Amino acid sequence: MSFEKNLKLLIAYDGTGYHGWQRQKNGPTIQGLLEEKLSIITAGPVHVNGAGRTDAGVHALGMTANFKTGSRMSAPEFQRALNSMLPAAVRILDAEVVESGFHARFDATGKTYRYDFFTGPIQPPHERLYRTHLRTSFVMDNVLPCLEMITGRHDFTSFEAAGSRDPLKKGGRGGVRTIYRATCITSPDQPDCFSFVFQGDGFLRHMIRNLAGTLFLVGAARMTTKQFHAVLTGRDRSLAGPTAPAHGLFLQQVHYTPLQVCTP
């Protein structure tokens, strides 16, 4: 009688030096790394389902994945074995056996991302790989109306990477996504450190980085709130600002419970 269980992993990783989550031939990826180590542990091929794809250089504090195996090892044993084999840049924070039908991607109800940036004149060197250095002025009050503007259900085509989706393809949601929460935060003890936080039911390719790059223009008074609204409704990538660097972006959490729109 065959025995198979479904394991759910909670993963944190430093994306520096990795070509993103998804397995590919031209460089190391997080999915490829996990599958390699799990195949050694189980003495057989393993396919890992991720909750989504992160781009090269993007970090994760709470990526979720699952895989099925006939191994008799317990979830804590898998966690310990993986962490003993993985490089220090990747850690399994938790592992548990879940119902057989669970899928890390298809069962997710949303994700929370954070984009960190620094506005001071001299950035501390230890932050250079994890917080974008914004070398222009930034007034947080300028961007707050724009964050309120994007909250809710909208077509975010203007903030999607150009050429990443076939506009003639039938089915799917197109560029429409729901943003449940969009905020900009800082702290009194670090006045030059800011974070955009976006929680949504899904994100288009480069959507958060393109939103951040456009909001930087608003924060520097190089784009008005009215102009930002025209970008949002224009559904044209050429209207938006540049793509912000990958290293400021963190996948903070994958959600598996219903989410609601939060008014600012």
Q: Where are the domains of the chain?
A: 5-98, 110-255
5 pLDDT more than 70? yes
- For residue 113, the surrounding DSSP H or E stretch is strand 110-118
pTM of the model: 0.94
Neighbours of 142 (CB within 10 A): 21
Rounded CA separation 216/118 (Å): 11
Averaged pLDDT score across all residues of the chain:
94
Mean pLDDT of 7-22: 97
Say what percent of the chain tops pLDDT 70.
Answer: 95
* Integer angstrom CA distances of residue 84 from 10, 29, 44, 87, 88: 16, 18, 19, 8, 9
Amino acid symbol at 85: M
What does the pLDDT read at residue 169?
Answer: 60
* Token pair for 38: 């799990």
3 pLDDT more than 80? no
What does the pLDDT read at residue 13?
Answer: 98
Rounded CA separation 214/100 (Å): 42
149 pLDDT more than 90? yes
166 pLDDT more than 70? no
Under 8 Å between Cβ of 103 and 140: no
Q: Do 5-98 and 110-255 fold alike per CATH?
A: yes
* Integer angstrom CA distances of residue 7 from 12, 92, 99, 110, 205: 16, 12, 9, 20, 27
Q: What is the DSSP letter of 154?
A: E
Mean pLDDT of 238-251: 98
> What pairs with residue 181 in β-bridges?
199
60-107 pLDDT per residue, tens? 999 999 999 999 999 999 999 999 999 999 999 999 999 999 999 999
In the structure, what pLDDT confidence band is assigned to residue 262 with cuts at 50, 70 and 90?
confident
Domain 5-98, CATH class in plain words: alpha beta
Strands 132-133, 59-69: pairing kind: unpaired
What does the pLDDT read at residue 1?
Answer: 43
> What CATH number does the domain located at 110-255 have?
3.30.70.660
Where b means 16+ CB within 10 Å and e means fewer, 196-220 reads bbbbbbebbbbbbbbbbbbbbbbbb
35-69 pLDDT per residue, tens? 999 999 999 999 999 999 999 999 999 999 999 99
- Supply the residues annotated as catalytic: 55
In the structure, what pLDDT confidence band is assigned to residue 26 with cuts at 50, 70 and 90?
confident
